[in-house]
Amino acid sequence: MSTSNHASSRALSLFVTGTDTEIGKTFVSSALLRGFARAGLQAAAMKPIAAGAYERNGVLHNEDADQLDAASTVLLPPDMRTPYLLKEPAAPHIAAALENVTLDLERIVDYHAQAVQRADIVVVEGVGGFRVPLTDTQDTADLAVALKLPVVLVVGMRLGCINHALLTAEAIAARGLTLAGWVANRVDPDMTFPDENIATIRALLARAYDAPLLGIVPHLSPASPELAADQLDIERLLQTLRHP
């Protein structure tokens, strides 16, 4: 892995959000990073806010952030990759309050501006769903707006996913953001009618937002970002990012 500066005047970036928490945002983000690397891009990741940290050798770690690092070809400094690493595994505004931390979106925006100077593409993973509170007045949607990034939506395929996908897509559009595409992640291997659900979401998101299905990630045990990357249409996503 490279830790050297890789300045790029045309660096790409995207924001990964999900229909809920625990639906595979980190897994799909890692698969995207592997796919971008295969496409010859120097790929870096940011997890700007992570709640739930453990100590190893005197250093705080977050499992999601470590997974993103493992899938990246450019490692960002820890403070840049995760400006806010909170110990409590709770909603960010609750964890931040416990530690007397104020989540400052401008600080994240500044770090992101530095990150895109170090890589060809930067994947920014949100926290929880799209409208998770960060402060009394701001939420994850405000972070995506502040970063001015196109959004990739990870839909956890399970009962209720159609409603969650449509509500999230509507919220993304309501903030004036581009839904660059979505990924169907088979989190529930026992879900009934998964293909029919995917077909419904695919048709509705294409018609309403011109948002393509970027891939269907099967239920993998153990989880493998490399295998998941095989299922993603990386070239189509790159075309969308390069020609919005």
Residue positions annotated with a catalytic role:
47
Contact by Cβ (8 Å): 151, 114: no
CB-hemisphere CA count at 13 Å for 9?
0
Q: What is the dihedral of CA 91, 155, 183, 229, to 10 degrees?
A: 60
**Listed residue (31, 244, 13) closest to 118, CA to CA:** 13
For CA atoms 109, 104, 1, 34, give the dihedral sign: negative
3-state secondary structure of 65: helix
d(CA 54, CA 99): 15
Backbone φ and ψ of 95, nearest 5°: -60, -40
Q: Give the residue carrying structure tokens 């839909």.
A: 155
3-state secondary structure of 139: strand
The full DSSP string for 180-227 is EEEEEE---TT-SSHHHHHHHHHHHHHHHH-PPEEEEE---SS--HHH
d(CA 92, CA 111): 19
> Any idea how long the chain is?
244
